[in-house]
Amino acid sequence: MLSWGVLGLLADGPVPVRLALLGLDLVVAWLFVRRSALQSEASPRELATALPSLVLGGWAFVGAGPPGDWPLTAQALFGLGALWTACSLASLGSSFAVLPALRALVRRGPYRLLRHPAYLGEALLVGACVLAGGPWQALVALIPALVLRIRGEERVLTADPAWSDYAASVRYRLLPGLW
């Protein structure tokens, strides 16, 4: 993760988008080191539901062109999305996972407001890429991909006895007031 961030800085220089990505990469690298043991693994079906959103984010970023050429609004949205995502992931702490898995249920930070705040951050990041000239289809395809990913992840999380209380107290998955 760290090497991707450094290589990006070397390619484009210290532009805000690259600095935001480096920060996000550092958080993810730190979380990989701190992860706790699995309590429950996902089925191949749930694992498969996570993959499309990962690919769509990369497609949107690559299609957006050099980050130094992005309009200021796209750079600002990307920075906001990266900050929100980093805070969400950092709140997971040792429960962090890229693919659906049950480690320990998290109720702190943004997880007090939304069940899947990191995916809202992912949508902001892809939206920023689209604003910068990336393929609009990536954002359109991301929405159903995130719905599938969230449903698959929640199937895994139901193995935690505290899940039903958490889901009842935190009603919204991705967008406050909507879903």
DSSP for 46-95, written as a single string: HHHHHHHHHHHHHHHHHHT--GGGS-HHHHHHHHHHHHHHHHHHHHHGGG
Give the CATH number for residue 43: 1.20.120.1630
* Total number of domains in the chain: 1
The average pLDDT across 120-130 equals 96
174-to-5, 67, 114, 130 alpha-carbon distances in Å: 27, 27, 6, 20
Residue 72 C-alpha from the chain's centroid: 22
Please check whether residue 71 lies inside any domain of the structure.
Answer: yes
- In this prediction, residue 3 has a pLDDT band, given cuts at 50, 70 and 90, of low
> What residue numbers bound the domain in which 77 lies?
2-169
Please check whether residue 23 lies inside any domain of the structure.
Answer: yes
Q: pLDDT tens digits, residue range 81-121?
A: 999 999 999 999 989 888 888 888 999 999 999 999 999 99
Please check whether residue 68 lies inside any domain of the structure.
Answer: yes
- In this prediction, residue 4 has a pLDDT band, given cuts at 50, 70 and 90, of low
pTM of the model: 0.88
User: Which comes out higher in pLDDT, residue 103 or 40?
Assistant: 103
Residue with tokens 């890429």: 129
Please check whether residue 176 lies inside any domain of the structure.
Answer: no
Please check whether residue 175 lies inside any domain of the structure.
Answer: no
